[in-house]
Amino acid sequence: MSFNSYFAGGPTPKFSAYHIWKAHQVVAKDGPIGRKALAEALQIGEGSTRTILDKMMREGSVESSRLGITITERGKRKLDTSGMEVRQVDLSDLTLGKFNCAVLLKGAADRVRLGCEQRDEAVRAGAVGATTLVVDQGRIVFPGDEEFPDQSLVAPLKNYFRMDDGDVIIIGSAFSYDAAEKGAVTAALALSNLSRRCWNEGTELLSRDTEADELRCLALAVHELLGRLPVTMRSRNRPGVRCEEGEVIDTHYTGPMLEEAMKRGAIVRRVSTSGPYRGLPVIAVPIMRKREAIAAIATMDIGKGSLSELLAKLAERY
């Protein structure tokens, strides 16, 4: 879950990525909510809260009415596809503080070294400390140490989360729950923002069987080069990814124009008649190898309008 656009240009803000995440959570749970009440929940000033809300409104995550601020379907989807789950947990035998908050981050184990970086992020955010765990072969272990901790100490985590190999759990610890949550979420957001490798050394960048996880970096790179126009990409034999607003929002995506481009081995250019971009001009381009389409990539057709016009049309759909 990335909030980089909230910090682009201008003076240094008096809020952090945690406050933006928390704003999404509070509005989703308690909305409609007033700006003053939200500022109190975030424990920041009304000016900073106004800045966050203005950006959330511009991206279509929330909307304002006489009743207050409410989350939109787009905002809900951003939370649902963030790959993060947050829970208050009791793991006093494993951690330092009285209160503990655990954050599950899906598929991020390859970005963790020894967990020291996550601890430091959490402490800077106000926590006493943080414990980082990874899921490896069904066991919850310390990074780089498959023997520890004792599985009985971490077994309660399975009551809170549905975990898969490659997932990360960051447990923030403090003398208040708010501080524990802020530490754990701050560390998780920093980890989720780290770049991950697109492919393993010695393997091909693209093949018929390239999975969504390997397409993420390439699709995101194209997405940024196109000024964050929506980008979709898939290989012939696997579902692919969909990128919007600087993030991968779907890792099991395909679409009729991607399918047609691969089937024909030719560029497909027309107004989409179905899917999330129905009614918008789209271009899908096959990626060929030895006269075979092994993958395809699609985006909005900038030959049919300026970047700002296309983004405005897209925004109208939400």
What does the pLDDT read at residue 208? 61
Q: What is the DSSP string of 164-185?
A: -TT-EEEEEEESSHHHHHHHHH
* Residues 166/107, Cβ–Cβ less than 8 Å: yes
How far is Cα 6 from Cα 17, in angstroms, rounded to an integer? 8
Model confidence, pTM: 0.63
Reading phi first (left if > 0) and then psi (alpha if -120 to 50, else beta), residue 201 is in beta
Q: Which of 24, 59, 80 is the last residue of a domain?
A: 80
State residue 127's pLDDT score.
Answer: 93
Pair 33, 23: CB distance under 8 Å:
no
Strand partners, 299: 231, 283
The whole-number mean pLDDT for each consecutive block of 10 residues of the chain, a chain of 318 residues, reads 62 83 93 92 92 88 91 87 88 84 89 89 93 91 84 88 91 94 93 52 52 72 85 86 84 86 88 80 86 87 64 56
Whether 205 maps to a domain, the answer reads: no
Question: For the chain, what is the domain count?
Answer: 3
C-alpha to C-alpha distance for 195 and 211, rounded to whole angstroms: 17
**Contact call for residues 21 and 2 (beta carbons, < 8 A):** no
Residue 225 within any structural domain of the chain: yes
Residues 96 and 10 in one domain: no
Same domain, yes or no, for 173 and 218?
no
222 and 186 housed in the same domain = no
> How deeply is 66 buried, as exposed, middle or buried, from its count of CB atoms within 10 A (0-12, 13-18, 19+)?
exposed
The predicted pLDDT at position 195 comes to 41
Both 50 and 106 in a single domain? no
- Distance between CA atoms of residues 112 and 117, nearest Å: 8
Please report, for the domain that includes residue 268, its CATH number.
3.30.450.40
Distance CA 285, CA 272 (A): 14
Both 65 and 131 in one domain: the answer is no
Domain that holds residue 56: 4-80
Q: Are residues 133 and 49 in the same domain?
A: no
The pLDDT value given to residue 304? 64
Whole-angstrom distance between the N-terminal and C-terminal Cα of the chain? 19
Same domain, 121 and 74: no
CA distances from 255 to 77, 268, 292, 295 (A): 19, 12, 19, 12
Q: Are 265 and 292 in contact (CB under 8 A)?
A: yes
